[in-house]
Homo-oligomer: A and B are copies of this chain.
């Protein structure tokens, strides 16, 4: 067994570079050359660790997913359920550079998913987890709600977050961000009473 390298680590590096390329250039501009440039290697290495460009795109999506998931857990830690719910929803919005970039990646993949079944599955997977997290928090924060009402509230909150995210993405002014926070708060007030 010669020349041993951390396979997973390399793949993660490449996924991160792909992620950066998508952020800077859009998915169209994310060519093998662009990724290699950002990963600080040659195309040879990319092809060594991934079978195709599409596999690298999926890896970038998963990478963004893992990042976001970790942030959500941090946001929940040590908060009451209603505080945690608000924190999680706000954490999901593109309010700073990191999350703005993350949203660019999401949006890019949504569009790409329209014509790629594997990406659509990837998205549905993420959405289920995300829905489960929010509905759990809603149930904790408003124990008097029926199961159906909890689901309904979660659906409504998730839709609001996604819509606001897109809006901020297209008009990333400070005003739009403040407005988004206000909208989340009124939505929460409606749900939690």
Contact = CB atoms under 8 A, between A and B. Distances in A.
Interface string A76-99: 000000000000000000000000
A108 to B, nearest CB: 5
Contact of A107 (B114, B152, B158, B182): B114
A166 B162 CA distance: 8
A110 B28 contact: no
A27 B163 contact: no
A124 interface: yes
B124 A171 contact: yes
A110 B107 contact: yes
B179 A155 contact: yes
A180 B156 CA distance: 9
B120 A170 contact: yes
A59 interface: no
Contacts of A52: none
A34 B175 CA distance: 41
Interface size class of A (residues with CB under 8 A): 35 or more
A105 B183 CA distance: 27
Contacts of A182: 152
Contacts of A110: 107, 111, 166, 169-170
Contacts of A170: 110, 113, 120, 123-124, 127
A164 interface: yes
A187 interface: yes
Interface of A: 25-29, 104, 107-108, 110-115, 120, 123-124, 127, 152, 155-156, 158-164, 166-167, 169-171, 179-180, 182-183, 186-187, 190
Q: Which 8 A-B pairs have the closest CB atoms?
A: A159-B163, A162-B163, A111-B111, A163-B163, A26-B115, A159-B164, A159-B160, A108-B111
